[in-house]
């Protein structure tokens, strides 16, 4: 249903009362409502407007079946999909047969489902092996199921293992079922089979293997099984469960299990530190301090880490004097500890906040001299340089900035840029341009290189379109299978194939690029971006083809339409979406922001009221609706700040109240210095990334002409 189902639905709703819609408009509106998950609305449209069943190869019947499916009327959906298939040919017919089979399967009718999966495979032999998995899953004869699995695709081996295990169970061979699942690393499922077979010891072992895995789905299944059937009985099991819950569950649950591990006798330093970390995550800093201080008194391994964390927890509680004294004692006791640079920086930070600037400078200098290559030394040099610039001591500032460049600190490129600025402000334009030009070449696609290029008046980069080789036959075959699985709503199989496609160990570099470009075209840019970075490490980053994978634009037409409607720069919208969600319509942040432009539900509802359109929170996950409201929100931010991009982006990320406070900085108006002054690293990096992304999108995708 294209990439604008919401717009299609709204346009039909607005226009239907003004004129008589034609059959294609009615059909597209019904399809749009199905795509939006509004089965009742689709049924209403189709019931009010009679369409011939044969229209566009049975499309009205297909839309009706989709609406029935959404409503849970699976048996009738199966019948309607099957009826629609009589008007279709080729791939479309195979898809409709598979959809009918899936609907019958959900209706509890395995025999007709199996027959239809077989017919779909005969219509489209390229996916016959995937459909054999479905046939095996609905086969009532386990021997037949095992036979069908012989032709299962390599990418579907995990699904095949589950079906094979179920067949073994049906045949009474639980041992074979357990081995099959364990070999596929489906430990939680294997544990359930072992438990059903009465082997609780083996079941416990398998469940805790699942708990310990780094794969989220498997670990989550292990956690559920452990809590339901095998509560931890040893300190080790409590700790395993605690660490899994920390990664994939709740901090409260992790803390409870860590406390249980401690009470069960695990008083190791690692467990004490983990316990304190969990308490801090729960904002129980007093409790964390008690844990850290007890660890210090226990005088075990690495008491220095506990001592440092205790001081840091006092600082986070706002007990500045106590924290300063604790950091100083830590440094006196352990001057060479790996946490010493952090402690020294935090002490300098405290003194600077108190206005005791000479003491702060002394501490920052001591950090720079003792640990010049440490990340905290880089931060200290940034503070020293900023102080020197405020005092208009350009000589001292340049000395510090050169040291940052020489030591290759995390702020080396910012320091290089600032050195050029100081030269220009001192009247030495030739040196400034030379330094900015050098930085632009060194950091060609980075924020500081982009800013340097603009300051030096260098032309914006352009990236030629090189002739691309034809997509390799193997990749083309797998992408065609993915298209079928998506169209047939065979989600488990689609996810399995995606996992196979995005595993670089299966492919050569050229094939990885083919796959990535194929995924971008199919709305899976986030996966493609990950592959792009992999290719960059194997090939080279500045290859235009690689850059267009890492910075894709899969929804270009949609973005350009919204840019025109709200008078926005389309490259800025693309840059923002790339940063917010990597073009993932289903993206959700921990704070609850959702969709392509990561809108909060309350913000979207308010925008809907302003724009006088019907709203549902479900629309946050619909690409064209989300981008429409996100673009409206961005336009509002830009109007609020008189078209200035930097404060508008800061407000989009951190909120207007903070930006109003930051605009009182003396650097406001000098947007480079303003960005450097923003106290939130996340917001500072966000703005820098978007400004860099906007320049890259303009270079990669050419001049924009409003549609």
Place of tokens 């500890």: 337
pLDDT tens profile 295-351: 999 876 679 999 999 999 999 999 999 999 999 999 999 999 999 999 999 999 999
Residue 568: both structure tokens together: 């926005």
Residue 589: both structure tokens together: 């942040």
460 or 72: which leads in pLDDT: 72
CATH topology of domain 556-701: Lysozyme (1.10.530)
pLDDT tens profile 173-190: 999 999 999 999 999 999
pLDDT tens profile 503-535: 999 999 999 999 999 999 999 999 999 999 999
Asked if residues 102 and 114 have their Cβ atoms less than 8 Å apart, the reply is no
The catalytically annotated residue of 33, 169, 237, 580 is 580
At residue 417, the pLDDT reads 97
Q: What DSSP character marks residue 153? A: -
Residue 470 has pLDDT above 70, yes or no: yes
Total Cβ atoms within 10 A of residue 655: 11
- CA–CA gap between residue 37 and residue 566 (Å, rounded): 27
Q: From 129, 128, 65, 156, select the one nearest 102 (Cα to Cα).
A: 65
Report CA 113 to chain centroid distance, whole Å: 36
In the chain, domain spans: 5-206, 473-550, 556-701
Asked if residues 49 and 26 have their Cβ atoms less than 8 Å apart, the reply is yes
Q: In the chain, pLDDT over 90 holds for what percent of residues?
A: 92
Q: Kindly give, in sequence order, each residue whose CB lies less than 8 Å from that of residue 622, ignoring residues fewer than 6 positions away.
A: 5, 6, 36, 585, 595
Average pLDDT over residues 578-582: 97
- 556-701 has the same fold as 5-206: no
pLDDT tens profile 234-255: 999 999 999 999 999 999 999 9
pLDDT tens profile 18-71: 668 899 999 999 999 999 999 999 999 999 999 999 999 999 999 999 999 999
Q: Which residues partner with 599 through β-bridges?
A: 594
Residue 490 has pLDDT above 60, yes or no: yes
Confidence of residue 17 (pLDDT cuts 50, 70, 90): low
Q: Kindly give, in sequence order, each residue whose CB lies less than 8 Å from that of residue 403, ignoring residues fewer than 6 positions away.
A: 368, 372, 381
At residue 404, the pLDDT reads 97
Asked if residues 134 and 117 have their Cβ atoms less than 8 Å apart, the reply is yes
Angle between helical axes of 570-580 and 645-654 (0-180°, round to 10): 30
Asked if residues 374 and 408 have their Cβ atoms less than 8 Å apart, the reply is no
Confidence of residue 2 (pLDDT cuts 50, 70, 90): low
Q: Kindly give, in sequence order, each residue whose CB lies less than 8 Å from that of residue 398, ignoring residues fewer than 6 positions away.
A: 419, 422
Long-range pairs of 198-206 with CB within 8 A, sequence gap ≥ 24 = 200/230, 202/178, 203/229, 203/230, 204/230, 206/178, 206/182
> Residue 580 catalytic?
yes
* CATH no. of 5-206: 1.25.40.10
Q: What is the DSSP string of 250-304?
A: -HHHHHHHHHHHHHTT---HHHHHHHHHHHHHTT-HHHHHHHHHHHHHHT-TTHH
At residue 370, the pLDDT reads 96
Residue 707 has pLDDT above 60, yes or no: no
Residue 475: both structure tokens together: 């990749």
Residue 4 has pLDDT above 80, yes or no: yes
At residue 1, the pLDDT reads 53
Mean pLDDT (the chain) is 95
Q: Which residues partner with 588 through β-bridges?
A: 594
Q: In the chain, pLDDT over 70 holds for what percent of residues?
A: 98
pLDDT tens profile 266-306: 999 999 999 999 999 999 999 999 999 999 998 766 799 99
Average pLDDT over residues 403-420: 96
Q: From 120, 90, 51, 64, select the one nearest 81 (Cα to Cα).
A: 64
Residue 636: both structure tokens together: 């509002």
- CA–CA gap between residue 666 and residue 392 (Å, rounded): 14
Asked if residues 139 and 115 have their Cβ atoms less than 8 Å apart, the reply is no
Residue 541 has pLDDT above 90, yes or no: no
């Amino acid at each position: 249903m294209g990439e604008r189902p919401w717009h299609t639905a709204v346009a039909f709703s607005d226009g239907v009362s003004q004129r008589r819609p034609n059959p294609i408009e009615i059909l597209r509106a019904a399809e749009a409502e199905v795509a939006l998950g509004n089965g009742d609305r689709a049924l209403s449209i189709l019931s009010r407007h009679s369409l011939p069943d044969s229209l566009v190869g049975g499309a009205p019947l297909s839309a009706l079946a989709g609406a029935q499916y959404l409503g849970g009327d699976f048996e009738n959906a199966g019948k309607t999909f099957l009826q629609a298939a009589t008007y279709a040919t080729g791939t479309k017919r195979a898809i409709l047969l598979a959809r009918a089979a899936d609907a019958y399967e959900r209706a509890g009718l395995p025999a007709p489902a199996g027959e239809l999966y077989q017919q779909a495979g005969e219509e489209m032999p390229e996916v016959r092996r995937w459909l054999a998995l479905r046939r095996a899953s609905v086969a009532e004869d386990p021997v037949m199921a095992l036979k069908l699995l012989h032709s299962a695709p390599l990418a579907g081996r995990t699904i095949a293992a589950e079906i094979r295990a179920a067949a073994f169970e049906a045949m009474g061979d639980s041992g074979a079922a357990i081995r099959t699942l364990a070999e596929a690393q489906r430990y939680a499922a294997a544990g359930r089979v072992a438990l059903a077979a009465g082997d609780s010891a083996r079941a416990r072992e398998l469940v805790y293997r699942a708990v310990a895995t780094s794969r989220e789905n498997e670990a989550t299944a292990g956690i559920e099984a452990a809590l339901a059937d095998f509560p931890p009985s040893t300190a080790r099991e409590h700790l395993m469960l605690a660490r899994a819950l920390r990664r994939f569950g709740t901090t409260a649950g992790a803390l409870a299990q860590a406390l249980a591990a401690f009470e069960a006798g695990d008083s190791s330093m690692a467990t004490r530190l983990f316990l304190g970390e969990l308490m801090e995550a729960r904002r129980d800093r007093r409790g964390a301090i008690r844990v850290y201080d007890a660890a210090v008194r226990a005088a075990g391994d690495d008491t220095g880490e506990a001592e440092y964390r205790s001081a840091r927890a006092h600082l986070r509680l706002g007990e500045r004097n106590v924290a300063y004294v604790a950091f100083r004692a830590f440094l006196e006791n352990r001057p060479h500890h790996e946490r010493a640079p952090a402690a020294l920086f935090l002490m300098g930070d405290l003194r600077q906040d108190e206005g005791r600037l000479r003491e702060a400078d002394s501490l920052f200098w001591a950090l720079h001299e003792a640990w010049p290559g440490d990340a905290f030394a880089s931060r200290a040099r940034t503070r020293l340089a900023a102080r020197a610039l405020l005092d208009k001591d350009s000589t001292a500032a340049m000395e510090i900035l050169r040291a940052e460049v020489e030591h290759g600190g995390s702020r080396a490129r910012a320091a290089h840029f600032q050195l050029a600025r100081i030269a220009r402000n001192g009247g030495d334009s030739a040196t400034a341009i030379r330094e900015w030009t050098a930085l632009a070449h060194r950091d060609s696609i980075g924020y500081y290189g982009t800013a340097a290029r603009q300051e030096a008046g260098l032309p914006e980069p352009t990236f030629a379109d090189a002739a691309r080789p034809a997509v390799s036959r193997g990749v083309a075959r797998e992408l065609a299978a993915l298209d079928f699985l998506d169209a047939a709503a065979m989600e488990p199989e689609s996810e399995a194939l995606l996992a196979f496609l995005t595993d670089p160990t299966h492919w050569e570099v050229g094939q990885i690029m083919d796959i990535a470009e194929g995924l971008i075209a199919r709305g899976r840019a986030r996966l493609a971006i990950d592959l792009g970075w992999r290719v960059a490490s194997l090939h080279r980053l500045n290859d235009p083809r690689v850059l267009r994978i890492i910075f894709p634009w899969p929804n270009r037409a949609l973005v350009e339409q919204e840019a025109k409607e709200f008078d926005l720069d389309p490259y800025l919208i693309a840059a923002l979406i790339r940063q917010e969600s990597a073009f993932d319509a289903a993206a959700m942040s921990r704070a609850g922001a959702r969709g392509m432009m990561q809108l909060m539900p309350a913000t979207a509802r308010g925008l809907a009221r302003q724009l006088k359109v019907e709203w549902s929170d479900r629309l946050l996950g619909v690409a064209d609706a989300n981008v429409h409201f996100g673009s409206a929100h961005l336009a509002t931010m830009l109007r609020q700040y008189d078209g200035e991009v930097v404060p508008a982006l800061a407000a989009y990320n951190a909120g207007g109240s903070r930006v109003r406070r930051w605009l009182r900085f003396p650097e406001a108006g000098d947007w480079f210095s303003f960005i450097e002054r923003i106290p939130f690293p996340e917001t500072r990096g966000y703005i820098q990334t978007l400004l860099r992304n906007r320049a890259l999108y303009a270079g990669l995708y050419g001049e924009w002409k409003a549609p």
